[in-house]
Amino acid sequence: MQDVILSLLAKEPAHGYELRQRLVKALGPAGGALNPGQVYVTLSRLERAGLVEAREVAQPSHPDKKVYELTASGRERVMLWLTDVTWSRVVPLEFHLKLAAAAATRLTDPVALVDSQRLELLRELRQLQELALQEPPDSDGALLLEGASLRLQADIRWLEVCQQRLVERESR
Amino acid sequence: MSKVIEARGLVRRYPADGSPIRAVDDVDLVVEAGEAVSVMGPSGCGKSTLLHLLGGLERPDAGELSLAGTRVDGLSETQWAVFRRRNVGFVFQAFHLVDELTAVENVELPTLLVGGSRRDARRRAMALLERLGVAEQAGHLPHQLSGGERQRVAVARALVNEPLVVLADEPTGNLDSRATGDILRLFGELRQARQTLLIVTHDARVASTADRLLTMRDGAIVAQTRLGEGTSVAGLLAGLADLGGER
């Protein structure tokens, strides 16, 4: 979250509400699920860490607002984040270990485990597609949903491979 | 609700070295009117054979099959052909359009085959091409159409006689991602229009649009589930917007 907020400030200084708006736009339909306070909490942590500076701007009919700006070290951190190639959730590791445990202990049938997981992902895929149909095709939100959909499809394909292996192993 | 497909104990064997392979092994299946069902499973699991049996393209070695209350497993080839033209629409991966006929002529064909007038056939065909967004391509030959357009023409042809059921075998198998999107949207509309649909596919996107999903393995249906229930959208969206707290 910190890196995301910093990157949103990299273009120009902004106040909290503007940042939240930019983030919501980039997330599309997922933006609604964002906790409203999260942006402000993150901003104050970044300020304490010396990555952003705040200055009060007087407004005629409203209370002063705080406009945030990147410091030099904040800008450096944004560059590090943008060029970092660490990828989240490349392997569905937890499920892999769950499956290994099921196969070893027989506490539950591994094939049935894969089946129910696959069906759950298909349900998610169905909902993603319904959401995607409601988004303008060229919006940021549609692009995010496309990414989520492709990733789910890959996970579903992997589960099909798991299933195939398990069935072959059992018929041996 | 009325049952459009009712199959009991369907079996289809193929000859093989040693004992024959049971491509479809004692399958029971009921599809209600207006239901969209998808069938998934690894290649060779018997899902296409099942679709062929349900549409009368292959005959079962055992079992009973009724379509909209009519027993069809005892029909002769000719009787099946007549029944099929009126009641079953097919969509295939390879489109199966007649190359020498234009898009609209392809769509008219099923109506003409059941004895419809030329005028009626043209009117129905044009209305469907319009609805599926390919009216402007009505005069094009199949090779002048993109893959997505060809499949939309094929869907129009499947729908033109207002069949009891549309059977689709890997309908997006030959399409790129954008054309697949168009076909998905189209199946979504058919589902909303309560067209009874059975789709055999390995494409998770296509399969997940159905009301009910069947999984086949070694000729048998090993799992069935309703897809429209369960998972909450709120949970899904929260997952998408999870930026890892205030880290």
Question: How many domains are contained in chain A?
Answer: 2
The number of distinct structural domains making up chain B is 1
Calculate mean pLDDT across residues A21-49: 87
Q: What is the CATH number of the domain that holds A36?
A: 1.10.10.10
Q: Does position B246 have pLDDT exceeding 50, yes or no?
A: no
Average pLDDT of chain A is: 86
3-class secondary structure for chain B?
A: CCEEEEEEEEEEEECCCCCCEEEEEEEEEEEECCCEEEEECCCCCCHHHHHHHHCCCCCCCEEEEEECCEECCCCCHHHHHHHHHHHEEEEECCCCCCCCCCHHHHHHHHHHHCCCCHHHHHHHHHHHHHHCCCHHHCCCCHHHCCHHHHHHHHHHHHHCCCCCEEEEECCCCCCCHHHHHHHHHHHHHHHHCCCCEEEECCCHHHHCCCCEEEEEECCEEEEEEECCCCCCHHHHHHHHCCCCCCC
In a domain, B169, yes or no: yes
- Phi and psi angles of residue B18, each rounded to the nearest 5 degrees, phi first: 75, -130
Q: Is residue A88 part of a domain?
A: no
- Rounded to the nearest angstrom, the minimum Cα separation between B123 and chain A is 30
Chain A residues contacting B via beta carbons under 8 Å: 1-2, 4, 27, 29-34, 38, 41-42, 45, 115, 119-129, 131, 133, 144-145, 148-149, 152-153, 156-157, 160, 163-164, 167
Model ipTM value: 0.79
Q: Are residues A102 and A79 in the same domain?
A: no
User: Domain range holding B99?
Assistant: 34-46+76-229
On chain A, the residues whose CB falls within 8 A of the CB of B246 are 1-2, 38, 41-42, 45
Q: What is the pLDDT of residues B111-163, one digit of tens each?
A: 999 999 999 999 999 999 998 889 999 999 999 999 999 999 999 999 999 99
User: How many CA within 13 A on the CB side of residue A129?
Assistant: 27
What pTM did the predictor assign?
0.80
Range of the domain at A22: 2-83
- Neighboring chain A residues of B184 at a CB cutoff of 8 Å: 129
- Residues in A closer than 8 angstroms to B215, CB to CB, are 115
Contact B9, B26 (CB under 8 A): yes
How many C-beta neighbours within 10 Å does residue B220 have? 16
